[in-house]
Amino acid sequence: MNYQQLCMKACETAKEAGGLIRGEASVFSSGRIEEKGLHNFVSYVDKGAEKQIVEALSQLLPEAGFITEEGTNSTQGERFNWVIDPLDGTTNFIHGLSPCAVSIGLLENCRPVAGVVYEVSLDECFYAWKDSAAYLNGKVIHVSNRASVQDGLIATGFPYCDYHRMRSYIDCLEYFLRNSHGVRRLGSAATDLAYVACGRFEAFYEYGLNPWDVAGGLFILQQAGGKVSDFSGGDNYIFGKEMVAANALVFDEFLNTVRKYLK
């Protein structure tokens, strides 16, 4: 299997979908927003971008199945499955904010082997494939070398519907606000992971995540030298709805703090 070729074609596909998103941004009407659940929005842009991505990837690897946010295709592959978020950051998009990203991950026997995150507004394409380095627009990227939470910039996502751990989450957030360079909430988990991969953030944590939010970005982060786990330190981070991700130097300290508050 030529993972590099698959990844580069997925990059092209993500950029094409990003072009659709960028083109619709200036003419988007809030009257065409649907609500899938509490504070969980979708638009014709999400659906159109996903349809375009699925059609392209179906031709690229016909035997692969799909795990998609908008349900355009739910066929399960025996060996390969594409995991797609056509517009990660829909709430940002409908309010005219950045970032928003196209996220594509490829799983082989449930393990990631390629990842693409295309951040639309900055035209930044992050990507990696099995046994490769991680790249941003053709240049190799690495996680940062900051070795403590105190010296790091932290990314997170605020829960928008699952509030049962809100008190613990706020306590954890307060700790990082007091004991780091600061906390940022961009509104796109895929972008957060890509930014840890290239050293803009030192670490990221969030719960209430879905596979399509993280499958592309987590693999890029790992190939850039970072580490990923669930809140228990285990490996249920694609489907387990929670994630800790950081550069390798700060990971243990960061995980222990998150685990203290949110386990």
> Both tokens of residue 161?
């519907």
pLDDT at 127: 98
- Residues 145-179 as b or e (16 or more Cβ within 10 Å = b): ebeebeebbbbbbeeeeeeebeeebeebbebbeee
Which domain-ending residue is among 120, 141, 162?
141
Statement to judge: residues 167 and 124 lie in one domain: no
Work out how many domains the chain is built from and give that number: 2
Statement to judge: residues 236 and 254 lie in one domain: yes
Statement to judge: residues 44 and 67 lie in one domain: yes
Statement to judge: residues 53 and 77 lie in one domain: yes
Which domain-ending residue is among 103, 125, 141?
141
Statement to judge: residues 111 and 11 lie in one domain: yes
pLDDT at 70: 77
Distance CA 203, CA 196 (A): 6
Which domain-ending residue is among 115, 141, 167?
141
Statement to judge: residues 82 and 194 lie in one domain: no
* pTM of the model as a whole: 0.94
Statement to judge: residues 73 and 183 lie in one domain: no
| CATH number for position 203 | 3.40.190.80
Statement to judge: residues 62 and 156 lie in one domain: no
pLDDT at 40: 46
| CATH number for position 33 | 3.30.540.10
Cα–Cα distance list, 217 to 56, 75, 257, 260 (Å)? 20, 22, 22, 25
Statement to judge: residues 79 and 14 lie in one domain: yes
Statement to judge: residues 112 and 200 lie in one domain: no
Cis ω before 86 (30° cut-off from 0): no
Which residue segment(s) compose the domain that 242 sits in?
149-262
pLDDT at 162: 73
Statement to judge: residues 11 and 113 lie in one domain: yes
pLDDT at 35: 55
Digit-by-digit pLDDT tens for the chain (263 residues) are 899 999 999 999 999 999 999 988 777 656 555 655 444 456 778 888 999 999 999 999 999 999 998 777 778 999 999 999 999 998 899 889 999 999 999 999 999 999 999 999 999 999 999 999 999 999 999 999 999 999 999 999 987 777 888 899 999 999 999 999 999 999 999 999 999 999 999 999 999 999 999 999 999 999 999 999 999 999 999 999 999 999 999 999 999 999 999 98
pLDDT at 37: 45
